[in-house]
Structure 1
């Protein structure tokens, strides 16, 4: 039994760094461009952020200041949440 537990703990410790590849972050910036067809938003930092299909683009136009909460997945920034800064 001890050998089984030791093997499980060793496996878990080896695989735990793999979970850190998808990390969340946030950025405050101004919208530079909105592309509804490509489901993306470009901020004034020059980076493109992808949005989910059900994303509501209402009120998002060039010049609007936002805080974007995103996760990097396969090298692409995917928006988890977005707040308009007033």
Structure 2
């Protein structure tokens, strides 16, 4: 049991630096394209944002202004949350 705990702590210590690579941010922009097939939203900032598989695209279309909260992982911008702006 002690060995298993030591191994787990060792692995978590080795992987800790990788957690700093993921950076959370937000952007306020207008939607230019929505692809429900690829689960992506393109904004007028020129970037493409990847949505999770359970994402609800209802009400999202070109020209809608949004506030997107995302995390950048391996060069992809993964959507954490999205709010419509009136």
TM-score, length basis structure 1: 0.80
Structure 1: unaligned runs, 5 residues or longer: 1-7
The higher radius of gyration belongs to 1
> How far 1:57 moved relative to its partner?
0.3
Q: CA RMSD in A?
A: 1.8
> Which residue is equivalent to 2:83?
83
Aligned to 2:28: 28
* Structure 2, unpaired ranges of 5+: 1-8
Q: Which whole-Å deviations, capped at 9, do the CAs of 1:37-77 have from their partners, x for residues lacking one?
A: 00000000110000001100000000000000000011100
Structure 1 match to 2:41: 41
Tell me the TM-score normalised to structure 2 length.
0.80
| Equivalenced residues, count | 76
| Structure 1 residue 72 corresponds to structure 2 residue 55 | no
